[in-house]
Chain A
Amino acid sequence: MILSRRGLLERLLQGLGVAAIVNRPVPVVQAAGEELARNESGPLTVRVTRPFDAETPVHEFKPFLTPNHRFFVRSHFGPPPPDAISEANWTVRVGGLVERTKTFTLKELRLMEAVTITAVVQCSGNGRAFHRPKVPGVQWERGAVGNAEWTGVRLRDLLAKAGVQAGARHVQLQGADRPVVVSVPLFTRSIPLEKALHQDTILAYEMNGRPLPLLHGAPLRVITPGWMADSCMKWLTEITVQAEESKGYYMQAAYRVPIQPVESGTTPNVPSTPVEAMVVKSLIAAPQEGETVKSGPVTIQGMAWSGEAKVVKVEVSFDEGKTWEPARLVGEDRPYAWRQWQLIWKAKTSGTFTILCRATDARGEQQPATTPWNPSGFLWNGWDRVSVTVTA
């Protein structure tokens, strides 16, 4: 039963789905997963193969709405088995501190008043890869965000039917996704009751006018407009009204930020708070990083958004942030959506240029050069940056 090292190595290489280079004097081992992580060929950039986590290449953000098949994908355990969420079996239950526990089928939800909201959904870790020192977690760069039209029912309409009791402060959300090993904590989250009762917080069954895709939480997911996606529970099956924030890893340890600045690279002893509203942010969708453009007028375009205020200004800099030129806000202007912007740049001299952008919202919050470091790398909103070459 003795295996030669080479035999094992070859098998290991096969196991990794990597071409084995066997007749070199020193065989080359491709370390775990590196090939898979670099797959940029499809419409999405894959960060993790299983469970599938993938982000949208930023140049795909030119349209106002992000198409479903281009929308970033993120979950902790992957979608639940199809039978758990088939329309025939699936229900959502409202329990806890309510007058009467209620169970709804999808058909019943579809009979209730439908609302459509355009909202940015963004992973809290979007931009984690830019924090220095680096922090553990999926190394998202710029594209773990998207803007879509979500159609569904108001969460508060369900809560009203169940009757919220006095003393209720939080609403726990649980999806049907499960870890492969039972000792891994469930992805359980809660949102404060005010957010749950907000008229724009919905349970969506459609995305961009189509049935919600499986990877995006079918048949029903939460949309908390203006807030980061960790509240937007996918594959929703249980809603529990309660007095306290949810317990467990994903509410008490993960998805939190320190309430005061901390020294970079440390694990500080300061209180933390759950990640909630999005911070003001903008991205450059065109030109792309590394693109070569001809001298003359070049359209620089992108999008900007902020969690709880309107974007009022986007500016562009060509000199590392010493001076800024205002861009024009264009296109649709909807409350929780992103705002598109444009600037016609007269590129006269050839050479390499760095284009930066930053947004400001109605409260005066402005995108910083870099985001304060935090141990889990959340809420990155440093100036966006693209380098282009201008040729004569």
Chain B
Amino acid sequence: MEWVGSRIGDGDGMRTLQKASSFVLASLKPSTYMKRTPRAIARCGLAGRPFSAFSLSVATLSAVIIMAGLAVVTAAQEEDLATVSAALAPRAEVLIIARCSVCHSPDLVAQQRLPRARWEATVEKMKHWGAEVSNDEADLLVRYLSARYHPGAPDHLPPLESEVRKAEPFTQDSVAEGPVTGVAARGAGIFEHNCQACHGTNAIGGHGPKLAKNPILKHEDLFWETVLHGRGPMPAWGSVLSHQDIADVQAWLSTR
């Protein structure tokens, strides 16, 4: 879609892929999901800066190396890629729904078949534009996306065989949080970055229903159930936002 030089961190595609294959599951602590608001606000300061970095000679060279690397993907390595993507899928797919689907539906992501360098550049561009992912999350996404949606992957991918049993529950720490009191002032920013895309400016509705003055705000249980676990096209936020974040959004919504 755009004319931008790829930004390449790790020049050797194959080495990265092999490294990734020995990687079992992202060791993201739930704490990395939380307290994102200051970062979110900081990032707003970047608004409007055009993204056009060319890091050319390095990029060209690395692209050639990657191409060469991909040419020697063997059947066994293909299987490795499948193992990597299956292992990372549970977390990565949740991030794609919760974080990457704010501005566009995830089908735009799944239809790409890109080498790692271009996935890196793409995720970096999305972060720059406002995707709420931490560095660890971006790294996980790049590893997952370049293992599952690599240039050699078929157009119609088989469904993911997920080793769901072995995975950790997402909201490990939530129990410890206890009751929280929402702060409306904080909620505005959290809403803008997580909910506004679907529920509209000032929560007046859009792709998702109007939340301002929505009767659900008076039904604590239903509100929390919907936000934590999602419903239909509404993503689950339990693994993405802290209870404090959700309480803040709820408090802010009640002032609309």
Task: Report the bound CA distance from A134 to B198 in whole Å.
Answer: 30
Task: Report the bound CA distance from A137 to B157 in whole Å.
Answer: 18
Whether the Cβ atoms of A16 and B172 lie closer than 8 Å is: no
Partner of A249 from the list B43, B51, B112 (CB cut-off 8 Å) is: B51
The smallest beta-carbon distance between A39 and chain B, in angstroms, is 9
Chain A residue with the shortest CB-CB distance to B63: A266
The smallest beta-carbon distance between A334 and chain B, in angstroms, is 31
Listed residue (A30, A136, A182, A377) with the most chain B CB atoms within 10 angstroms of its CB: A136
The smallest beta-carbon distance between B14 and chain A, in angstroms, is 16
Partner of B114 from the list A17, A136, A257 (CB cut-off 8 Å) is: A136
In the assembled complex, A267 has its CB within 8 A of some CB on chain B? yes
B107 cross-chain contacts in A, Cβ below 8 A: 32-34, 36-37, 46-49
Chain A residue with the shortest CB-CB distance to B234: A15
In the assembled complex, B143 has its CB within 8 A of some CB on chain A? no
Partner of B1 from the list A185, A269, A376 (CB cut-off 8 Å) is: A376
Partner of B106 from the list A14, A33, A183 (CB cut-off 8 Å) is: A33
Whether the Cβ atoms of A33 and B109 lie closer than 8 Å is: yes
The smallest beta-carbon distance between B231 and chain A, in angstroms, is 7
Could you say which of B16-24, B160-168, B211-219, B248-256 contacts chain A? Answer: B160-168
Chain A residue with the shortest CB-CB distance to B55: A267
Task: Report the bound CA distance from A195 to B125 in whole Å.
Answer: 32
In the assembled complex, A9 has its CB within 8 A of some CB on chain B? yes
Among all A-B residue pairs, the 8 with the closest Cβ atoms: A33-B107, A32-B106, A137-B1, A33-B106, A180-B197, A1-B174, A269-B56, A37-B107
In the assembled complex, B116 has its CB within 8 A of some CB on chain A? no
Chain B residue with the shortest CB-CB distance to A28: B159
Whether the Cβ atoms of A183 and B109 lie closer than 8 Å is: no
In the assembled complex, B222 has its CB within 8 A of some CB on chain A? no
Contact with A along B25-45 (1 / 0, CB 8 A): 000000000000000000110
Task: Report the bound CA distance from A134 to B150 in whole Å.
Answer: 10
In the assembled complex, B238 has its CB within 8 A of some CB on chain A? yes
Chain B residue with the shortest CB-CB distance to A134: B113
Contact with B along A33-76 (1 / 0, CB 8 A): 11011100000001111110000000000000000000000000
Task: Report the bound CA distance from A130 to B46 in whole Å.
Answer: 35
Partner of B50 from the list A11, A248, A269, A272 (CB cut-off 8 Å) is: A248
Which A residues are closer than 8 A to B by beta carbons?
1-9, 11-12, 14-17, 26-34, 36-38, 46-51, 81, 125, 133-139, 179-185, 247-249, 252-258, 263, 265-269, 272, 375-377
Partner of A3 from the list B57, B170, B196 (CB cut-off 8 Å) is: B170
In the assembled complex, B73 has its CB within 8 A of some CB on chain A? no
Listed residue (A6, A134, A181, A258) with the most chain B CB atoms within 10 angstroms of its CB: A181
B90 cross-chain contacts in A, Cβ below 8 A: 5, 9, 29
- Sorting the interface of chain B by its residue count into under 10, 10 to 19, 20 to 34 or 35 or more gives 35 or more
Known: A28-B162, A265-B67. A15 touches B2 (CB 8 A): no
In the assembled complex, B151 has its CB within 8 A of some CB on chain A? yes
Whether the Cβ atoms of B207 and A184 lie closer than 8 Å is: no
Task: Report the bound CA distance from A11 to B114 in whole Å.
Answer: 29
Whether the Cβ atoms of A37 and B111 lie closer than 8 Å is: yes
The smallest beta-carbon distance between B223 and chain A, in angstroms, is 15
Whether the Cβ atoms of B48 and A185 lie closer than 8 Å is: yes
In the assembled complex, B60 has its CB within 8 A of some CB on chain A? yes
Partner of A181 from the list B101, B193, B200 (CB cut-off 8 Å) is: B193
Partner of A265 from the list B63, B122, B170 (CB cut-off 8 Å) is: B63
Known: A15-B233, A50-B207. A27 touches B3 (CB 8 A): no
Whether the Cβ atoms of A181 and B129 lie closer than 8 Å is: yes
Task: Report the bound CA distance from A372 to B229 in whole Å.
Answer: 48
The smallest beta-carbon distance between B12 and chain A, in angstroms, is 16
A184 cross-chain contacts in B, Cβ below 8 A: 103, 129-130
Whether the Cβ atoms of B110 and A31 lie closer than 8 Å is: yes
Task: Please list 18 pairs of residues, one from A and one from B, whose beta carbons are closer than 8 Å in the complex, sorted by A's number.
Answer: A3-B238, A5-B90, A5-B165, A5-B168, A9-B90, A12-B97, A15-B230, A26-B162, A29-B93, A29-B160, A136-B122, A181-B193, A183-B47, A185-B48, A249-B52, A252-B52, A253-B3, A254-B3
Task: Report the bound CA distance from A31 to B96 in whole Å.
Answer: 9
Known: A31-B160, A136-B118, A139-B111. A50 touches B104 (CB 8 A): yes
Task: Report the bound CA distance from A139 to B113 in whole Å.
Answer: 10
A81 cross-chain contacts in B, Cβ below 8 A: 200, 206
| Chain B residues numbered 45-93 whose CB sits less than 8 Å from any CB in chain A | 46-48, 50-52, 54, 56-57, 59-60, 63-64, 67, 89-90, 93
